[in-house]
């Protein structure tokens, strides 16, 4: 099968719409450690997941053009709950717990798996999960486990590469990931390259989120 990447140049209208939506009010809602704490499933949700310290909080801050909306931690494994952010009552951004951190106990890892699986299987308003991959390291086994979980839960997901300003072979990395995505039923055949530091790729991700949520 030929590996192709589905992408397009953003129009001025798409860029403006993404900027408009993400320039609106955005607030931290709550942290969910148990599914009984979930907010009502009333508006679309977009979730972000990745290895500990991959840059999820930095990406959420860059998307919303804020510096401290999502707490950036230099301690891997810090996020242990589903953190919900309300974007103008139009959609929820969900920062999922990081995975792949070796010092997390077996009991914590088991609790993480239960929380994530139950959320993925039962959240009807979840439009898409973005799996964040550190472009300096590429796909790891823990990323593949997350992809397998999403396949099993039939939840659509897309790949976002982070810290691409530090990647030495970005095109080669994208090509190898695209080839691997061919074997995953729930994966969308596109890889987004971003850098929260340089603000590259942010407008494209905003546009995709807006189109997914039809807001």
pLDDT digits (tens, 9 = 90+) for 101-155: 656 667 777 777 888 888 998 899 999 999 999 999 999 999 999 999 999 999 9
Q: Which of 156, 144, 146, 75 is nearest to 113 (CA)?
A: 146
Class of the 19-213 domain? Answer: alpha beta
Bridge pairing between strands 91-95 and 26-32: unpaired
Cβ neighbours of 39 (radius 10 Å)? 14
Task: Decide: helix, strand or coil at residue 45.
Answer: strand
- Tokens 């550190």 appear where? 134
Bridge pairing between strands 157-162 and 126-134: parallel
Task: Decide: helix, strand or coil at residue 72.
Answer: coil
How many degrees, rounded to 5, is the angle at CA 32 between CA 30 and CA 38?
85
The model carries a pTM of 0.88
What integer is the mean pLDDT of 33-41?
90
Residue-range domain boundaries for the chain: 19-213
Please say if the pLDDT value at position 8 is more than 70. Answer: no
């Amino acid at each position: 099968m030929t590996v192709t990447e589905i992408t397009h140049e953003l129009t001025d209208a798409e860029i403006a719409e993404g900027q408009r939506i993400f320039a609106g009010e955005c607030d931290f809602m709550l942290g969910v450690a148990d599914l009984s704490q979930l907010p009502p499933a009333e508006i679309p949700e977009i979730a972000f997941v990745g290895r500990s310290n991959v840059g999820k909080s930095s990406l959420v801050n860059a998307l919303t053009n804020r510096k401290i909306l999502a707490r950036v931690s230099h301690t891997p494994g810090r996020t242990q709950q589903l953190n919900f952010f309300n974007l103008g009552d139009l959609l929820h951004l969900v920062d999922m717990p990081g995975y792949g951190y070796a010092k997390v106990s077996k009991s914590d890892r088991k609790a993480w798996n239960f929380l994530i699986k139950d959320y993925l299987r039962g959240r009807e308003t979840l439009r898409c999960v973005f799996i964040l991959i550190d472009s300096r390291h590429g796909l790891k086994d823990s990323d593949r486990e997350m992809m397998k979980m999403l396949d099993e839960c039939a939840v659509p997901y897309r790949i976002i590469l982070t810290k691409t300003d530090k990647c030495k072979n970005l095109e080669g990395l994208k090509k190898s990931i695209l080839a691997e995505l061919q074997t995953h039923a729930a994966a969308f055949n596109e890889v987004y390259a971003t850098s929260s530091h340089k603000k590259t790729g942010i407008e494209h991700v905003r546009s995709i989120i807006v189109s997914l949520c039809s807001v």
